[in-house]
């Protein structure tokens, strides 16, 4: 399947600034009159939002690693079928906060489930839909922790179940993201998340223009 408008995924440790960069790109595309939808995983659909709540809450029963993976994949298949594929078919730009690479990073990297299984389940959940570009906002674990606690102390809600994991878990997640990016450099753009929002947007737009997805 080939598409005219891209599916762009944003990945990174929690606190890496994905939401701000996505909002800035969305605003640029809107300004140019281009049709764009912004969505996220887990979630993006009513059922996906319920699954998100089950996975990320800190109270109540915690899923085992395999169950956790299946819940992320269940949210994903619903999201691909009900949101991502329909928008791609309508020729819209789709900006997605996390996708298959997060399952590789968190469930294979962090939880140490075999990557082969995660890949198979990713494939089952997504079918023919693949990101055209994945942006990795790379951040050190120290800085991610600092930003998460700052957000918490400013009243931005307490840390969820994944965020509450120890530093060595987040180190494995970061390493996996970087490995994935280095395996497929054509489909990834790695940005240094400690740079200013203006610089990050400038680099992202420059890359997208280089791919000739934006004419100006």
Q: Does 11 bind ligand TMP (CB under 6 A)?
A: no
Q: Which sign, positive or negative, has the C-alpha torsion 53, 59, 65, 67?
A: negative
DSSP 20: H
Place of tokens 């996505």: 22
Q: What minimum distance in Å lies between the beta carbon of 163 and ligand TMP?
A: 6
CA 149 to chain centre: 21
Contact code string over 27-66 relative to ligand TMP, x by CB under 6 A: -------------xxx------------------------
Integer Cα distance of 47 and 74 in angstroms? 9
Contact call for residue 103 and ligand TMP (CB under 6 A): yes
Candidates 98, 145, 148, 174: give the one binding ligand TMP (CB under 6 A).
Answer: 98
How far is Cα 137 from Cα 153, in angstroms, rounded to an integer? 23
| 16 interacts with ligand TMP by CB under 6 A | no
* Binding region for ligand TMP (CB under 6 A) out of 81-89, 101-109, 188-196, 207-215: 101-109
Cα–chain-centroid distance for residue 92? 18
How far apart are the C-alpha atoms of 55 and 106, rounded to whole Å? Answer: 13
Q: Among residues 39, 45, 78, 102, which is the contact residue for ligand TMP, using CB under 6 A? A: 102
Question: Quick one: 54 or 214, whose CB is closer to ligand TMP?
Answer: 54
**Consecutive H or E run containing 190:** strand 188-192
Instruction: Give the separation between CA 172 and CA 129, rounded to whole angstroms.
Output: 26
- Is residue 138 within the footprint of ligand TMP (CB under 6 A)? no
162 binding ligand TMP? (CB under 6 A): yes
Interacting residue ranges for ligand TMP, rule: CB under 6 A = 14, 40-42, 72, 97-98, 102-103, 106-107, 162-163
């Amino acid at each position: 399947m080939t598409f005219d408008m891209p599916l762009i995924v944003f990945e990174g440790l929690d606190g890496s600034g994905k939401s701000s960069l996505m909002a800035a790109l969305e605003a640029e595309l809107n300004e140019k009159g281009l049709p764009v939808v912004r969505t996220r995983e887990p979630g993006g659909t009513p059922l996906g939002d319920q699954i998100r709540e089950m996975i990320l809450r800190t109270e109540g029963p915690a899923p085992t690693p395999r169950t956790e993976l299946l819940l992320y994949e269940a949210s994903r298949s619903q999201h691909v079928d009900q949101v991502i594929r329909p928008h791609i078919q309508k020729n819209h730009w789709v900006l997605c906060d996390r996708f298959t690479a997060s399952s590789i990073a968190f469930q294979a990297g962090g939880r140490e489930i075999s990557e082969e299984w995660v890949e198979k389940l990713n494939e089952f959940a997504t079918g023919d839909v693949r990101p055209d570009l994945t942006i990795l906002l790379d951040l050190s674990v120290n800085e991610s922790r600092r930003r998460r606690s700052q957000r918490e102390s400013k009243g931005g809600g307490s840390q969820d179940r994944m965020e509450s994991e120890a530093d060595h878990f987040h180190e494995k997640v970061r390493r996996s993201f970087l490995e994935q990016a280095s395996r497929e450099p054509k489909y990834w753009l790695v940005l240094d998340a400690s740079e200013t929002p203006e610089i990050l947007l400038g680099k992202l737009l420059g890359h997208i223009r280089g791919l000739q997805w934006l004419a100006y």
